[in-house]
Structure 1
């Protein structure tokens, strides 16, 4: 079972991806996590990625495709995998087909951009553990403090409102061609493609996903 999750930042791909990974016992591969790990390790490529992300731009196809190609060839992907945040462009979709990794399902999560802005800009993160809070939807017990360690929470650079707006603008430019490509692939019988309303409750979305992946 090889699955792609598509959606703008903040549409719930990460949450639903974790559910799918646990439910169907396949690894969840998040390009965002991979890019942030590279930044954290402070490698040469990590410094390039950091500079791009802080400007609200998208990391180049070459960097992302190379990271993905290496990851999906690991042993834990033999029985399938879940791609969260890749492909993000039409060129990346072509790349996947070129390296002969057949995709079974594409799920697109849809949320109005204003709601996305509220979701992302309200996120707070405990840097050491990666625990995520939200000022409105999942506030910590003590304002701006991690529940377990009591350490200060941070706002990731790519979660700051100016960066979010820039990311959404970038996403608009590349979204339509990518979706048209996968709708066409569905018509040709190559994949199963479903659009899911990401504003519904988490449990309701879980049911919709299970129905789609039957």
Structure 2
């Protein structure tokens, strides 16, 4: 099975990706994780990506598509995958279509801007482990410190207010065309595209996704 999760930053794609991946035993592919791995490696492309994301800008389609292609060729994705954070532009959508991979379901999470700002700006990360907290929704036991190691938590550079604004603006610029493309594909019965209320609790959203998948199989 191949699934795509769409939505602006902070709509809960990562949370749903992990649940779906576990329940349906398909591998999650997060373009955000792929980009961060390249940044951590400090290679040439990683340095370029770092400077782009630091300013809240979008990494070019060529870079993202190339990195994605290298990832999905790996053996672990033979049984299927879930794309989290891809595609974000019409060019990326056409690229994944050109690979002749049948996309079974596309789910888009819809969340108002105000809540997105609250969700993202409150995120705190333990860099060494990747553990994530939120000052309102999932606070650490001790303010500003990881629950296990007691090491300081940090705010990701692309989670600052200015960066969030840029990311949302970039998302909206591409969102309309991307939506039109997939709605057209849906009418042609090439895929199944559903828009979901991302303000609901994660388990409620997942239950909706589960029912949709069950009813279409």
Residue 71 of structure 1: CA displacement? 1.1
Alignment of 1:62-141 (within 5 A): 62-141=62-141
d(CA) in 1 for partners of 2:4, 2:98: 16
d(CA) in 2 for partners of 1:213, 1:84: 17
Alignment-derived partner of residue 191 in structure 1: 191
d(CA) in 2 for partners of 1:73, 1:103: 16
d(CA) in 1 for partners of 2:66, 2:192: 26
d(CA) in 1 for partners of 2:88, 2:172: 11
Aligned length: 214
Alignment-derived partner of residue 167 in structure 2: 167
Runs of 4+ off more than 3 Å: none
* Cα deviation digits, residues 76-113 of structure 1 (max 9, x gap): 11111000000110000111111212211100000001
Instruction: Report the TM-score when normalising by structure 1.
Output: 0.99
SS of equivalent residue, structure 2 residue 115: helix
Instruction: Report the TM-score when normalising by structure 2.
Output: 0.97
Residue 202 of structure 1: CA displacement? 1.2
Residue 203 of structure 1: CA displacement? 1.2
RMSD: 0.6
d(CA) in 1 for partners of 2:69, 2:40: 21
Alignment of 1:9-88 (within 5 A): 9-88=9-88
* Cα deviation digits, residues 17-72 of structure 1 (max 9, x gap): 00000000000000000101110110100000000001110001011001111111
d(CA) in 2 for partners of 1:183, 1:79: 26
Residue 147 of structure 1: CA displacement? 0.2
SS of equivalent residue, structure 1 residue 124: strand
SS of equivalent residue, structure 2 residue 138: coil
The gaps in structure 2 that reach 5 residues or longer are: none
